[in-house]
Amino acid sequence: MKVLDLFCGMGGWSIGFRRQGFEPTGLDIDDVGYPYDFILDDIRDFDGNPFKGKFEVIVASPPCTEYSSLAKFSALRGQRPFPDPEKGNLLVKEAKRVIEQIQPRFWVLENVKGSLKPIYSILGVPRMRYGPWQLWGNFPRFLMPSSNMKKWNGSREESWLDRPLRFNPLGAWLRAKIPIGLSEAIAKACKESLTV
């Protein structure tokens, strides 16, 4: 069983899928330590047609900065431009294009609450909403893990919420990492559906 992780970052989706026996491949424009097979490419340039039927599952977490309310605060402080949801939607449309090209059995696209209205015009209503995670796609029902973030990420030491507030060049990547408990729960449901 193979999973393609679009906008893979540090591999939060992929780690949970690997734990459930999937072979992950990540795609992103930067390599920040993704632990499995990796395709260094911009999704806008990526052609999914040669991969048609080669992945049973595609997961995607397009960057949330163009939807995030936290980005607005940074913009007010002059640290970045104001969020532009249309710019964020371009990457969502590219993820949708790749999903349609590859035609996996299951797919999940995740983003923040601030993305609901902009992404609605592309993907409709999310299939599941849970805390800050909004999930669109075609995926089997699954049991949600505990809502305790520390449990989702493993041990207390692994939770970025417990780290002291100081500059970390990987801070944005760590905050964007999908909780392993969530990815593993979805992976388990996909595996059970694929092996029936």
Which pTM does this prediction carry?
Answer: 0.81
Domain harbouring 131, CATH code: 3.40.50.150
Residues marked as catalytic: 64
- Domain span holding position 188: 2-194
Per-residue pLDDT tens listing for the chain (196 residues): 999 999 999 898 999 999 999 999 999 999 988 999 999 999 999 999 999 999 999 999 998 777 776 666 666 777 777 767 788 889 999 999 999 999 999 999 998 888 888 889 999 999 988 778 889 999 998 876 665 444 444 443 444 444 455 555 555 545 556 878 889 999 999 999 999 7
DSSP state of 32: S
Whether 64 contacts 172, CB under 8 Å: no
Separation in Å, CA 147 to CA 6, 39, 127: 25, 32, 18
Structural domains of the chain, count: 1
